Chain A
């Protein structure tokens, strides 16, 4: 026996020379991080370790796999080093490195004439951008109507349905009350968005013995730890929810007091035929009316002491009306929503639907909670307590990315509201500055004039056809045709239509396509190969149909090869950013919060030849070179040195800037003059700022007078904006009325019936369009994707650590389908849609809806991109489902091509895809299609990584 003394172990080794606190950007979650830095002997700061910031409201100290792999992202060999000018044909990847002066001069030369002549010739779209408050402002000052971010192909259905219904949606707008909720129900949720908060919450909830019900065709991640899994058929969630509503109504399990007080359940809906049919009856001051059971009179809904009738037909001076609630009850009590009637379509037993409805009711009403905190509502009525319905919901892209997604999201919100489970203790709670009612959001603006700013913000919430972005001939003003009859409520724009419309010159040709952080030549486009064709297509004179493309990215993504000018962005550890209340903040239900990123290391020190700039600073400099209003002073001199300077000094309204904390003399919160020390104060405070909601204001925010006053004090708005939840959404009805022939602005004939059907003011369900358009027997399977928890979009697979976890993506297929097709793990199969065919490796998975196949999203890479070996599994075995998805539906024989999107919002219907599968008997074990190799503007990464070498 080797008897040896234990070695002398150093138990307190040196960790780091300095810890700098900033905000993660490994996904969109925006967690606080502590970046441990060590000084190399030459003084270079090197990242030793990244951990979660314990004080941060989002992640409270924890950190996910992506965040923990930040070192490999920051030092990625795929990082771009210098601005690039294309010297070979588009797509060849032939570039010349240029300096910033040349790059900015080129951009200015391209953009300046457009602005003077016709700003619409610029299309400026950003991807996973967290600075939309700046980018949209810039586009507005430039004057182009063609601006949006990526919401149109991400989750606009979720956002729009939530805002129109209750002034906010899931994720950034609100959250389950994790401390108090007892039953948590999730629909179509993968592990990507709101990643750490949901994981923290699930741990907390289960630790207390709470229950999770997961509705998802795929049982991974959160769905795997749920107590009950509902392996629903994709695209049928709306019907399932309406069956739950049917059951709750049938047996009287709805919160009537809540509905009477805090919703439009009592609003009288005009039953008279004519242009106001289906709209709320209103008094002379334009206030919606209810029928008061006490006085037997119609009264404005916001008067104190009312007892609204919820059924009946009432004659009022404004017309004859029926309460919203009766219309709602009549709809969902219909036999078509009986659980027995929907079970087959949804792939869920009727007994399970009934049991889940009973559990929701049991927890909401029999396990209600109370918080003894007096408060006063907007009508001036005093309440002694907050009543809690401890049932909470969350939904994400599995709901959103269907052509019936908007109405499905609406149905989920209506279910929440019927249970009285929104903004109460234990329910779903908004995060300030939400909720903000739809009316308080901007309308869309699109009036563009030479040498002038746009007439207002691009994106907004239309209330009627009058708000659409149409010209005098009724044609779309925007290049993506957002806010046209194709997608009237496309409140996030339609980035996925930009390239195809620009290529077709429909509605008009553009001159410059300017994009940021959006991999449109790969995983962010439907129909990838065709989009690549459009980017490289030329006209009869040999000019590119999309003449000039400017692209900014930190990394050598697939899209870089298709740009004419590449502006290299900094990594997330090298940049300034603000996670602003003007944009998508990081608040919690009990606190408003915002945060910054700042250069914890300087780009020039973080790699040889590295000369990159944060995109936002570049945009600000371009704004000054173009002499855009609010970017230069009267003398034409730049107003802001860079983004950091803008963050501190820009004022959107007097006293309101990008950051709420440390304003004025440093003690002012929300409102106050710019404070030159603001960023330093944020840095000293851990990179964020939190302002707590007063106790009386914490719940029932839209109706709570104390909350409304606090919101005004904070500067969210200038006067209180109370409102009630909209079970019945009138703006939808106004579009329906147009389709019925009322009003000046009329939809084109081919869209009339579709609009009449889709724009129902109460949630409806229709079969997903692609499914309805194809032969279901020929394409018997649903095909969907999701992102893994450990990887986010295409950024992840270049990451030396994360790609060891998800380096390739099989198609997961249910055992019954595997057997029927003679497939076994590791086999290859052809997967075919109405539009295309791909060859993929398959793997068996039984914890899956049997009529569904799925894969991880955006693992597949193009050969030559991302500094990977062209033989990398991502490029050889990895694949995208995108090749199977067309932005248009298959022809119906009516001579028209119909958009593969939600008819209300234009949300790309990624998850409507239908496919068939067959075994690939022979051939090389590589995925198809092969789109060929891109020449990389950066060298392939090193063979070996031994990060941390040399440190003890």
Chain B
């Protein structure tokens, strides 16, 4: 068992906007691209050109079909990676102390030197956000790009997670969710950002912004009769009047 910091001064994490995530996988692939050459062992791909390719990913996009009570079926794209929980069960379950939560910023990391690949943390994580690398035999997970966000070798504007920098729709936001005045905290407040599976008691730092209502027609005119001029009777009558008006 490994202990968690009682609290962290900063709670770095992601806010993911499900209203505009188009499910394009840009974040997931850019994450893999950055991290396979970055922190720790590469993210291996087994049977890469074979019958059953499977690799290690720190972020995956799931797509769910939803049938609302009224209206047509909808598709929701749902990117999922480590949520950097405040009460991270993956940390407390770790027998070697390899899994830990950084006291300074709350990022949950795996110290690969101490990881023996037992898989307990993956079992403990209710979100399925950890993957055991088949080659290195160590547990891999989202590092929140700890090797980017403080990296003095990168221009300041690039010191953000790779997924956030890549996301074409701007659906991913990075910041300090422990600071109620931060941009990400404001987004969460304005848009009703929520915790994934709060009943698990893990207190995830990452938040999701819910999709706005689709196929809701309560705003805007229902038909052109509402917009048409009262005296209009037929198109050609309107045309003469309208032409007079524009001179």
- A contact set with B: CB distance below 8 Å: 1-4, 6-7, 9-15, 48-52, 54, 59, 61-69, 71, 77, 191, 195-196, 199-200, 202-204, 206-207, 219-222, 224-229, 231, 247-253, 256-257, 260, 293, 307, 310-311, 329, 333, 351, 354-355, 357-359, 361-362, 365-366, 789-790, 798, 800-805, 807, 845-848, 867-869, 871-873, 876, 940-949, 951
Interface residues of B in 180-235 (CB under 8 A from A): 211-212, 214-217, 220-229, 232, 235
- Do A4 and B227 have beta carbons less than 8 Å apart? no
Interface residues of B in 97-120 (CB under 8 A from A): 97, 100, 102-103, 109, 111, 113-114
- Do A790 and B24 have beta carbons less than 8 Å apart? yes
Instruction: Determine whether B69 belongs to the interface, using a CB cutoff of 8 Å to chain A.
Output: no
Residue of A nearest to B104 (CB): A6
Interface string of B18-50 (1 = CB under 8 A from A): 011111111011101110111101111111111
- Do A196 and B29 have beta carbons less than 8 Å apart? no
Tell whether A873 pairs with B96 under 8 Å between CB atoms, given A199-B24, A310-B239.
no
A847 partner residues in chain B, CB cutoff 8 A? 65, 72-75
Interface residues of B in 228-247 (CB under 8 A from A): 228-229, 232, 235-236, 238-239, 242-243, 246-247
A948 partner residues in chain B, CB cutoff 8 A? 36-38, 42-43
- Do B95 and A2 have beta carbons less than 8 Å apart? yes
**Max chain A C-beta neighbours (<10 A), residue from B1, B48, B49, B217:** B49
- Do B65 and A846 have beta carbons less than 8 Å apart? yes
Residue of A nearest to B213 (CB): A227
- Do B26 and A68 have beta carbons less than 8 Å apart? yes
Instruction: Determine whether B151 belongs to the interface, using a CB cutoff of 8 Å to chain A.
Output: yes
| Bound: A248/B224 CA distance, A | 8
| Bound: A871/B225 CA distance, A | 61
- Do A225 and B22 have beta carbons less than 8 Å apart? yes
B228 partner residues in chain A, CB cutoff 8 A? 251-253
- Do A869 and B51 have beta carbons less than 8 Å apart? yes
Q: Which 9 A-B pairs have the closest CB atoms?
A: A941-B49, A948-B37, A199-B168, A252-B238, A203-B170, A789-B24, A846-B73, A2-B97, A68-B30
Count, A-B residue pairs, CB within 8 A:
317
Distance between B106 CB and nearest chain A CB, rounded to angstroms: 12
- Do A872 and B50 have beta carbons less than 8 Å apart? yes
B22 partner residues in chain A, CB cutoff 8 A? 191, 199, 202, 221-222, 224-225, 789
Beyond A11-B147, A790-B26, A944-B48, 11 additional pairs, beta carbon < 8 A: A4-B2, A6-B103, A199-B24, A224-B76, A225-B21, A251-B227, A251-B232, A252-B232, A253-B224, A310-B239, A355-B220
- Do A13 and B53 have beta carbons less than 8 Å apart? no
A68 partner residues in chain B, CB cutoff 8 A? 26, 29-30, 32-33, 166
Size category of the binding interface on chain B: 35 or more
B146 partner residues in chain A, CB cutoff 8 A? 9, 11
B215 partner residues in chain A, CB cutoff 8 A? 227-229
- Do A311 and B239 have beta carbons less than 8 Å apart? yes
Distance between A150 CB and nearest chain B CB, rounded to angstroms: 24
Interface of B is mostly: loop
- Do B221 and A355 have beta carbons less than 8 Å apart? yes
- Do A219 and B73 have beta carbons less than 8 Å apart? yes
Tell whether A366 pairs with B76 under 8 Å between CB atoms, given A49-B34, A203-B169, A252-B238.
no
A805 partner residues in chain B, CB cutoff 8 A? 25, 28-29
Distance between B245 CB and nearest chain A CB, rounded to angstroms: 9
A67 partner residues in chain B, CB cutoff 8 A? 26
Distance between B46 CB and nearest chain A CB, rounded to angstroms: 6
B229 partner residues in chain A, CB cutoff 8 A? 252
Instruction: Determine whether B70 belongs to the interface, using a CB cutoff of 8 Å to chain A.
Output: no
Q: Which of B30, B65, B214, B226 contacts A227 (CB 8 A)?
A: B214
A-B contact pairs, 14 of them (CB 8 A): A6-B103, A14-B153, A15-B154, A68-B32, A195-B24, A196-B168, A248-B224, A361-B227, A801-B45, A845-B73, A872-B49, A944-B45, A945-B44, A948-B37
A333 partner residues in chain B, CB cutoff 8 A? 235
- Do B147 and A13 have beta carbons less than 8 Å apart? yes
- Do B223 and A307 have beta carbons less than 8 Å apart? no
